A = this chain, B = another copy of it.
């Protein structure tokens, strides 16, 4: 679960273990062994041989660029097809690229990325089609928002993780809070964790991660809009977010997280 920082990924691991999944990390897969008829039988690993009825490989994705390269299109630094904001290939006049094979501009990293998501592909395809047919519209980039449902949790992220920020040479501070998804007295509440990744000098939100039994998926979109706009945690702390007991406590978990991050940056001196 490298899309989250380790502290947040641990919640997902525990949720998987709670339904009986045995999670082995940092284990090398050495061989996938099959029955005579081709069905999987076991997986040999650095911690021994494990019986297996099914084997699912989930080892990441790479853009399929063979066609583009054969056509002489330039690839960008990520290995995907380079485009400008109109989805034009700078290397070939009149050629457009969009979707999983193409780069996107990341608004936090200020650099091209290759993220394979249907949301980006759809928007880019529309931009490419519009410009190819005489319109003029620009794709303004991405902030790396993604969400999954894993066991009992909604798992969501946007912007950059602390690890990604470090890798990109960004100055970074992080702060995580635990809250409840509904007012304390309202039935059906469950845990929700919110982690904010912040520029420690100006307080801009660089990323966010949310794991929770409900409400993580759509809450991440508020953080995505903050990351998109360079909103500071000091601003977010006062946002006029919706409150009713079935949906949050009077301070939404996002506001609690923003306040803790603000206090952290202030060294607790402001208030």
Q: Is there an interface contact between A244 and B219, defined as CB atoms closer than 8 Å?
A: no
A135 interfacial by beta-carbon distance below 8 Å: yes
Q: What's the number of copies of this chain in the assembled complex? A: 2
Within 8 A of B (CB), among A219-271: 219-222, 224-226, 228-229, 231, 235, 238-244, 246-247, 250-252, 254, 270-271
Q: Is there an interface contact between B137 and A271, defined as CB atoms closer than 8 Å?
A: yes
How far is the CB of A162 from the nearest CB of chain B, in Å?
19
Which of B147, B239, B246, B270 is the one whose CB lies under 8 Å from A149?
B246
How far is the CB of A176 from the nearest CB of chain B, in Å?
19
Where the two chains meet, the residues of A that have a C-beta atom closer than 8 Å to any C-beta of B are: 117-120, 122-123, 130, 135, 137, 139-149, 154, 156, 158, 215, 217-222, 224-226, 228-229, 231, 235, 238-244, 246-247, 250-252, 254, 270-271
CA of A158 to CA of B239 in the docked complex: distance in angstroms?
12
Q: Is there an interface contact between A244 and B142, defined as CB atoms closer than 8 Å?
A: no
Provide 19 A-B residue pairs closer than 8 Å at the C-beta atoms, listed in order of the A residue: A118-B250, A119-B250, A119-B251, A135-B270, A139-B238, A141-B240, A142-B240, A145-B242, A147-B247, A149-B247, A217-B242, A218-B218, A218-B219, A218-B221, A218-B242, A218-B247, A224-B242, A228-B240, A229-B229
Q: Is there an interface contact between B147 and A242, defined as CB atoms closer than 8 Å?
A: yes
How far is the CB of A120 from the nearest CB of chain B, in Å?
7
| A254 proximity list for chain B (CB < 8 A) | 221
| A222 proximity list for chain B (CB < 8 A) | 218, 221-222, 225
| Chain B, residue nearest A270 (CB) | B135
| A228 proximity list for chain B (CB < 8 A) | 239-240
Q: With A122-B251, A137-B270, A238-B139 as known contacts, state yes or no: A221 contacts B219, CB within 8 Å.
A: yes
| Chain B, residue nearest A243 (CB) | B119
How far is the CB of A41 from the nearest CB of chain B, in Å?
32
